[in-house]
Amino acid sequence: MSTAVEPLLRVTDLSVTYGVPRKGVGLGTGAALRGANLEVYPGEIVGIIGETGSGKTTLARATVGLTAPASGSIEFEGRDLTGLRGRELRNFRRQGRIQLVFQDPLRSLDPDLTVARLVAEPLEVAGGIDAATRAERADRALREVGLEPEVVRERRPRELSGGQRQRVSLARAIVTEPRLLICDEPVSALDVSNRNLVLNLLDRLRRDLGVAVVIIAHDLSSLAGIGDRVAVFYRSRLVEQGNLREVLTRPAHPYTALLVASAPSLGDESVLRPADIRVDRDDAGPVHSGGCVFADRCRFAVDACATRPALREVGERWSAACHLADRWRDDVIDNIRPVSTGTLTKGDR
């Protein structure tokens, strides 16, 4: 892909604050996302990785317009979505150009509706499509995700397996022919074989429909083999974003290195193993409220880390929020073994 291609989605300095009820003091506020940046290019698969509570779902909800950001901007197909209000926002959402597949398919699907209704519903909401066409497109979407319409059409969510429910959620999301599909932890609740089926399915949808896919996950192993790029979040902040293979091979942020080293299976040669590198320290370091979010756990922290590192470029479409990005990599990673990028290629799965 040439660098001249404009991103489909560009999230810039996005912050989201929820009102948090606190005992005795009424409504306090909690920042769920702080200054997040994300770029998604047409037809690519981007992973968003981060521990629980790091703001991944919040970012997804804000991107589809379900949660209003406190500041920052969301541009989609060159259009600023953060400026949309009321009817404009509803119209945009109805078109289904960006679709979100929710984290918990059982809770997000209306238990009283049949699969046929569930999958056709987004088209009803979009309006202007007759019932026969809606039913036909719903059937097509079901086939697209590997379900037989004749078998599942009349069932309700309870009458499906977890993997089938996940597919129904996906069918519902692709029925509007979105340009961007955001899947919130699509595989976390599935066993290994269903995991691979769903990931391969997402890869195929990207190829067949040209849709860009964001996959939210806890760990990097959910992406190995299919992701093009990755964004790593820690404590509500983006710490690193770049080409998946490059990031796995030579992470620019120590927190990413920690994730890479602790991931169960990422291929072998090109990635760090826990024995190769110690990123975290034995005892907690000082917490600097305005400083790097990882400094208290980071073995390489220096005085400068008391000041928050800005996200800066460390390569092509590759950025990291670490003062020492280049230095610690040169000192630590490059001394471990020669860099090889041979293993994590697409289609390994």
Ligand X SMILES: Nc1ncnc2c1ncn2[C@@H]1O[C@H](COP(=O)(O)OP(=O)(O)OP(=O)(O)O)[C@@H](O)[C@H]1O
- Please identify, among the stretches 51-59, 193-201, 248-256, 326-334, the one whose residues bind ligand X according to the rule CB under 6 A: 51-59
Closest by CA to 183, choosing from 344, 289, 48, is 48
Closest to ligand X by CB, 50 or 227: 50
The separation between CA 287 and the C-alpha centre of its own chain, rounded to angstroms, equals 28
**Under rule CB under 6 A, residue 2 binds ligand X:** no
**Residue of the chain from 14, 32, 168, 271 that contacts ligand X (CB under 6 A):** 32
Closest to ligand X by CB, 67 or 270: 67
20 binds, among Mg ion, ligand X, none (CB under 5 to 8 A by kind): ligand X
> What does the binding site for Mg ion look like in residue numbers (CB under 5 A)?
56-57
**Under rule CB under 6 A, residue 20 binds ligand X:** yes
**Under rule CB under 6 A, residue 52 binds ligand X:** yes
CA distance 283 to 69: 36
Which 87-126 residues touch ligand X, going by CB under 6 A? 103
**Under rule CB under 6 A, residue 235 binds ligand X:** no
**Residue of the chain from 6, 22, 28, 30 that contacts ligand X (CB under 6 A):** 30
**Token representation of residue 308:** 């928050």
274 binds, among ligand X, Mg ion, none (CB under 5 to 8 A by kind): none
DSSP designation for 297 = G
Closest to ligand X by CB, 175 or 182: 182
DSSP structure string for 10-69: EEEEEEEEEEEEETTTEEEEEEEEEEEEEEE-TT-EEEEEE-TTSSHHHHHHHHTTSS--
CA distance 10 to 81: 10
Helix axes 115-126, 131-144, angle to 10 degrees: 120
Q: Phi then psi for 220, rounded to 5 degrees?
A: -65, -25
Binding letters toward ligand X, positions 53-72, x by CB under 6 A:
xxxxxx--------------
Q: What is the CA radius of gyration of the chain?
A: 21
Three-state secondary-structure class, residue 221: helix
Contact status, residue 208 vs residue 200, Cβ threshold 8 Å: no
CA distance 346 to 349: 8
Q: C-beta of 40: minimal distance to ligand X in Å? A: 17
- Please identify, among the stretches 46-54, 261-269, 283-291, 300-308, the one whose residues bind ligand X according to the rule CB under 6 A: 46-54
Closest to ligand X by CB, 53 or 162: 53
Q: Which residues bind ligand X (CB under 6 A)?
A: 18, 20, 30, 32, 50, 52-58, 103
